[in-house]
């Protein structure tokens, strides 16, 4: 198959995979709308907060007759729900969720009213997680390395299927990018954000770490098969397929999470 066609397919597959992973992840904002007195309000609630300070909530509501509160509690707990008033600031209703310890989670939900009408958003409370801020000089190289790893993994797999002579080279490039993005910058970012270098097997079940580990194992087997110029088309194809499958798992799922029963209640205001 023509090399340009292979690259075009690889780019499309990688972009679709990356967008799907992002949009299905637990940190992707909760989006939707509610209707009050015939007015449709588009809403967006963030599900992660990095750095010090409380997590701001801001929704654009031009109708001054619309008021509301934010119900919140620690997650996962059976704490009583606490209410925060939404305060009008021009055409915006604002509130702020209280800052939590690193990896602490809150679930929260908007309760909006206009006269006798009421609406709740989202139907199932949004869950947000607190973390330390990760500097751009770590975050951007990590994301870039992992994206291009997925790209070179995909082009290597497609190349192996079409017997491209450059499939092996693409595989080597992908493995180097995986090493940098997944096992150098990834743990560094995890440590900065949550204070742990690795929370996957054998220390935990963080799916981000574990899917990186599974991809590494698949590519290690492919490298072993590639030794001495042996035919490794099947191994490269399988490794690329494993990479696509495991990286379809939502990012940050089963990530670091505070065990509230091991902390004093005063850690949440």
Contact 6, 232 (CB under 8 A): no
Residue with tokens 């599974």: 214
3-class SS shares of the chain: helix, strand, coil, % to 5: 45, 25, 30
Which of the listed residues 82, 112, 131 is the one where a domain comes to its end?
A: 131
Residue 256 included in any domain: no
CATH of the domain at 58: 2.60.40.10
Q: Report yes or no on 254 lying in a domain.
A: no
User: Considering its fold, how many domains does the chain have in total?
Assistant: 2
Residue 106: pLDDT over 90: yes
Quote the CA–CA distance of 82 and 79 in Å, as a whole number.
9
C-alpha span between 255 and 189 (Å, rounded):
13
- The pTM of this model reads 0.84
Tens of pLDDT, residue by residue over 189-201, are 999 999 889 888 8
Out of 90, 107, 131, pick the residue that ends a domain: 131
Residue 215 lies in a domain: yes
Specify the DSSP class assigned to residue 18.
H
Q: What is the pLDDT of residues 147-167, one digit of tens each?
A: 999 999 999 999 999 988 899
**In the predicted model, is pLDDT for residue 27 greater than 90?**
no
Q: Residue 74: which of 206, 252, 255, 264 has the closest Cα?
A: 264
Residue 64: CB partners within 8 Å, gap ≥ 6?
88
> What is the chain's alpha carbon radius of gyration, rounded to the nearest angstrom?
23
Domain range holding 178? 3-25+134-246
């Amino acid at each position: 198959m023509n090399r340009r066609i292979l690259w075009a397919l690889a780019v499309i597959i990688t972009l679709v995979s990356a967008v799907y992973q992002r949009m299905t992840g637990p940190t992707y904002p909760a989006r939707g709308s509610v209707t009050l007195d015939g007015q449709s309000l588009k809403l967006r609630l963030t599900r992660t907060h990095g750095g010090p300070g409380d997590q701001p909530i801001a929704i654009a509501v031009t109708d001054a007759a619309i008021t509301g509160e934010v119900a919140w509690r620690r997650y996962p707990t059976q704490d009583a729900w606490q209410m925060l008033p939404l305060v009008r600031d021009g055409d915006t209703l604002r509130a702020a969720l209280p800052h939590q310890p690193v990896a602490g989670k809150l679930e929260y939900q908007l309760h909006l009213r206009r006269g006798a009408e009421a609406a709740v958003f989202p139907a199932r409370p949004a869950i947000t997680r607190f973390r330390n801020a990760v500097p751009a000089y770590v975050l951007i190289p990590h994301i870039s390395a992992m994206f291009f790893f997925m790209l070179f993994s995909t082009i290597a797999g497609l190349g192996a299927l079409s017997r491209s002579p450059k499939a092996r080279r693409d595989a080597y490039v992908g493995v180097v990018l995986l090493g940098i993005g997944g096992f150098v910058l990834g743990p560094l970012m995890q440590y900065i954000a949550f204070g742990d270098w690795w929370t996957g097997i054998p220390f935990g079940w963080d799916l981000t770490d574990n899917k990186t580990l599974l991809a590494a194992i698949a590519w290690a087997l492919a490298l072993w098969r590639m030794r001495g110029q042996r035919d490794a088309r099947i191994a490269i194809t399988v490794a690329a397929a494993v990479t696509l499958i495991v990286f379809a798992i939502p990012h940050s799922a089963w990530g670091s999470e505070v065990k509230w029963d091991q902390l004093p209640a005063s850690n949440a205001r």
